[in-house]
Amino acid sequence: MARGTKKTIQEKILQKEELIEALTVRLKKENEELNELLELKKMEELNELRTIIQNTGMDIADIIKLAESRVAQ
């Protein structure tokens, strides 16, 4: 069976460079998607916190004072 032509070192280098470039682009895209998901999670948590605060009848300043007094203890 014929194996085909053997690639030169330069062709192998070029192929690896192209692969690295493609993986770099993919990694950048995946990181962007991860950051978007983390932002969505943060917003959901803030909205949940806002709802809880509103249900207590307190305002943000009250919550900040309460948190600061807890930290000072």
Q: For the segment 17-70, what is each residue's pLDDT rounded down to a tens digit?
A: 999 999 999 999 999 999 999 999 999 999 999 999 999 999 889 989 999 999
Its pTM stands at 0.69
DSSP string, 60-72: HHHHHHHHHHHHH
What's the farthest any 2 CA atoms get from each other in the chain?
81
Listed in sequence order, the residues at least 6 apart from 15 whose beta carbon sits closer than 8 Å to its beta carbon are 7
What confidence tier does 5 reach under pLDDT thresholds 50, 70, 90?
confident
- What does the pLDDT read at residue 2? 59
